[in-house]
């Protein structure tokens, strides 16, 4: 792992930046985060924002980031919901049973629904929808042959009023009970990174992933053979560096330190 003094041998052309836990936390921007995004843009870096947040569409995320004070563009935002729609469009048979909230379900309006014998059970952020009846129904659909799609597999997230179970906890429950492995749409899946990379004109060595989650952001970057920055905010825990599941290229106190490195 490199320290702050080391500058990348090749100047990067683009940054892939996580949102929750990296640019904002519990509904508030991190100090200096808004200015850092503006700085990187002024310096001529291309920016893409990769988030596993699945309760919102890219349009809703864009609005949320705008309200927080960030200047970013809708077509720079890639989330697992968008990645899932692209994946389903590529499949020959796509009848789905959705476990996602209504706004996200509307985003999938072109996909045919079948709640009795679907090809896929699609699980995203479903909040209180994850009750026994809904989970047991999904379990039976999986046992009867449906494949399982997870928008992402995060186990928990932070809100201003405490921690919440995330959809990955319920995906894991369904995988265990039905003996199936979910196809994951968000980070760290290569397909997800490739969606964002296809929109950039640069090679992998010119892109740096920045995020707070070693299991999704840094594992994903390592799989893609990209350099990465782990920020010590959001989900970061210092014990994760003792036997890391992936090696970040840099570890920074927070996202604002990017301006000193690049
Ligand atoms: Mg994060």
Are 66 and 24 in contact by the 8 Å Cβ rule? The answer is no
Q: Is the pLDDT of residue 12 over 80?
A: yes
Contact 172, 153 (CB under 8 A): yes
Residue 168 scores a pLDDT above 70: yes
Highest mean pLDDT among 49-58, 116-125, 198-207: 116-125
Longest dimension (CA), the chain: 58
**In this predicted structure, what is the pLDDT of residue 56?**
85
Look at residue 124 in the predicted model and tell me its pLDDT: 94
Verify cis geometry, omega within 30 degrees of 0, for the bond prior to 188.
Answer: yes
H or E stretch covering 210: strand 207-211
Torsion sign over Cα 220, 222, 226, 232 = positive
* pTM assigned to the model: 0.85
Tell me how far the alpha carbon of residue 106 lies from the centroid of ligand 1, in angstroms.
25
CA of 22 to the centre of ligand 1 (A): 6
Predicted local confidence at residue 8, as pLDDT: 53
> Residue ranges of the domains in the chain?
14-52+187-261, 93-184
Mean residue pLDDT across the chain: 93
Instruction: State the pLDDT confidence band at 220, using cuts at 50, 70 and 90.
Output: very high
Q: What local confidence, expressed as pLDDT, does residue 57 receive?
A: 86
In percent, the amount of the chain with pLDDT more than 90 equals 84
Q: What confidence tier does 7 reach under pLDDT thresholds 50, 70, 90? A: low
Write the pLDDT tens digit of every residue in 225-251: 999 999 999 999 999 999 899 999 999
Which class is 14-52+187-261 in CATH? alpha beta
Question: Do 14-52+187-261 and 93-184 share a fold?
Answer: yes
The pLDDT of residue 127: 92
Rounded to the nearest angstrom, the distance between the alpha carbon of 89 and the centre of ligand 1 is 27
- Residue 53 alpha carbon to ligand 1 centre in Å: 9
Per-residue confidence (pLDDT) for residue 158, from 0 to 100: 85
* Cα(77) to centroid(ligand 1), Å: 14
Residue 6 in this model has a pLDDT that exceeds 60: no
Report percent pLDDT > 70 for the chain: 96
Distance 249 CA to ligand 1 centre (A): 17
Q: Compute the half-sphere exposure of residue 99: CA atoms within 13 Å on the CB side of its CA.
A: 33
93-184: in CATH 3.40.50.1000: yes
> How much is the pLDDT for 188?
93
Which of these, 181, 185, 203, 205, lies nearest to 90 by C-alpha position? 185
Burial of 133 (0-12, 13-18, 19+ CB in 10 A): exposed
For 239, counting Cβ atoms within 10 Å of its Cβ (0-12 exposed, 13-18 middle, 19+ buried), the class is: exposed
The predicted structure's pLDDT at residue 202 = 87
133 Cα: distance to centroid of ligand 1 (angstroms): 31
Task: Find the 35 Cα to ligand 1 centroid distance in Å.
Answer: 19
Residue range 81-108: average pLDDT? 93
> What dihedral do alpha carbons 228, 211, 235, 174 form, nearest 10°?
-90
Ligand 1 centre distance from Cα of residue 51 (Å): 7
Read off the pLDDT of residues 14-58 as tens digits, 9 standing for 90 and up.
Answer: 999 999 999 999 999 999 999 999 999 999 999 999 998 888 888
**Which of the 8 DSSP states describes residue 25?**
E
| Angle, CA of 230, 234 and 66, to the nearest 5° | 100
- Cα of 95 vs centre of ligand 1, distance in Å, is 31
CA of 233 to the centre of ligand 1 (A): 9
* DSSP-assigned letter for residue 97: E
Nearest CA to 121 out of 170, 189, 193 is that of: 170
Distance (Å) from CA 211 to ligand 1 centroid: 6
Cα–Cα distance, 97 to 111 (Å, whole number): 10
d(CA 255, CA 23): 7
**The tokens 């924002």 sit on which residue?**
49
């Amino acid at each position: 792992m490199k320290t702050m003094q080391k500058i990348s041998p090749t100047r990067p052309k683009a940054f892939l930046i996580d949102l929750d836990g990296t640019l904002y936390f519990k509904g508030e921007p991190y100090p200096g985060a808004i200015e850092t995004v503006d700085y990187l843009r002024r310096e001529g870096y291309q920016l893409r924002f990769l988030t596993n947040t699945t309760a919102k569409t890219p349009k809703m995320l864009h609005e949320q980031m705008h309200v927080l004070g960030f200047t970013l563009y809708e077509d720079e935002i890639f989330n697992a919901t968008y990645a899932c729609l692209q994946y389903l469009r590529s499949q020959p048979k796509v009848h789905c049973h959705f476990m996602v909230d209504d706004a996200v379900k509307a985003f999938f309006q072109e996909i045919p629904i079948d709640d009795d014998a679907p090809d896929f059970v699609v699980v995203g952020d479903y909040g209180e929808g994850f009750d026994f009846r809904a989970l047991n129904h999904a379990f039976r659909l999986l046992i009867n042959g449906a494949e399982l799609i997870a928008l992402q597999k995060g186990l928990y997230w932070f809100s201003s009023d405490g921690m919440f179970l995330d959809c990955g906890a319920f995906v894991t429950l369904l995988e265990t009970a039905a003996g199936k492995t979910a196809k994951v749409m968000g980070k760290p899946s290569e397909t997800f990174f490739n969606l964002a990379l296809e929109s950039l004109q640069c090679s992998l060595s010119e892109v740096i992933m920045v995020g707070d989650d070693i299991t999704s952001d840094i594992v994903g970057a390592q799989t893609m053979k990209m350099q990465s920055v782990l920020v010590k905010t959001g989900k970061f825990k210092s014990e994760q560096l003792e036997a890391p599941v992936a090696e970040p290229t840099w570890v920074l106190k927070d996202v604002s330190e990017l301006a000193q490195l690049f």
